[in-house]
Structure 1
């Protein structure tokens, strides 16, 4: 049952398992789609599946790299920048190229989770207008939990987009993905 998060033990193991499960669920939303469908905007928003895959992949890489590097600045490999969501949605890479990028992001995220040694390490808050100025750091565990929440939010968006394209929901898509 692909939608069921596997059992995990220990705080880091649970954080990793949930984050990777959410990324896997997002990946199922593209099963059986054409490039045109994956780039479409069938719902009221401007979101599309390829943009969500790119954005969520980058979220995993960025925030897991922050947790590994704490208290220093993260080292993000070239080509895996956490660009604004609007840029990811506008990216015209093919679905196949997007899936290669996404799968590489998941690999990097997994490796970063495996390299985390201190969940309490302070992670400097990146500059952004939505963070309060007095907030200077959060714990590495916060960064890893943030991956799951951010990806889960966008996986819900992806579910709605996919259902708008062809009516297929998460249960059916998990079955189709497992059959591949």
Structure 2
């Protein structure tokens, strides 16, 4: 992935390209991490890179389910904390949540490709305080913009966490993960010793 989204032909392509770009930036924050590092919470928050990627995968799958108006599994209630969604359980590993994130991305892209009108209504769920009670519907377009916003927000969290863990920043991580030939960025290398 280059450092910028390539030129786009239309709105759908642009929304999906920007979402893919933000996903890749979030994924890059995990490049080269050990399982222990993926679980580290080195900042004032309780967020970890592994937990953020786990949340992003579940979040994206949930929004795709909402667009399709399908129920998969139990939906969280208003009185349940979402903190477990941001933590890798003992049996979860980083590679698995990265795979889940990739699967959620592929599904979102496939679903959006089949929707003729990005203005199609997506009903707003009821009974949860974080969804507006005075709005009946969003659009598929709105959902894509929200996914871009959500992914970018968590990518920023992950950037700060990763830099705190070992000083790595996005472009050197991307250069390492994608083996950029570009001499402008020294690819990140795991610390030795």
Same structural fold, with TM-score higher than 0.5 when normalized by the shorter chain: yes
1:85/1:166 CA distance change after superposition, 3 Å? farther
Larger relative contact order, structure 1 or 2 (CA cutoff 8 Å, min sep 6): 1
Bigger drift between 86-95 and 143-152 goes to: 86-95
Deviations 1:54-109 (A, max 9, x none): 11122222223433x3xxx2354x69x78964122223211122222122122212
Any idea what SS the aligned residue of 2:99 has? helix
Give the alignment's Cα RMSD to 1 decimal: 2.2
Deviations 1:7-37 (A, max 9, x none): 2221111111111111111000010110000
- Cα distance, 1:138 vs. partner? 1.2
1:85/1:172 CA distance change after superposition, 3 Å? farther
Q: Distance in 2 between matches of 1:102 and 1:115?
A: 20
- Cα distance, 1:144 vs. partner? 1.0
Any idea what SS the aligned residue of 2:178 has? helix
Structure 2, unmatched stretches of 5+, are 181-193
| Richer in helix (by share) | 1
Q: Are the aligned partners of 1:65 and 1:109 in contact in 2 as well (CA < 8 Å)?
A: no
Where in structure 2 are the equivalents of 1:157-176 lying within 5 Å? 157-176=157-176
Q: Distance in 2 between matches of 1:85 and 1:97?
A: 20
TM-score by structure 1 length? 0.87
Q: Does 1:88 align with 2:94?
A: no
Q: Are the aligned partners of 1:41 and 1:161 in contact in 2 as well (CA < 8 Å)?
A: yes
Q: Distance in 2 between matches of 1:9 and 1:66?
A: 27
Q: Are the aligned partners of 2:48 and 2:86 in contact in 1 as well (CA < 8 Å)?
A: yes
Q: Distance in 1 between matches of 2:82 and 2:47?
A: 9
Partner of 2:103: 104
Any idea what SS the aligned residue of 2:135 has? coil
Q: Distance in 1 between matches of 2:81 and 2:96?
A: 19
Q: Are the aligned partners of 2:119 and 2:140 in contact in 1 as well (CA < 8 Å)?
A: yes
Q: Distance in 2 between matches of 1:89 and 1:44?
A: 15
Structure 1, unmatched stretches of 5+, are none
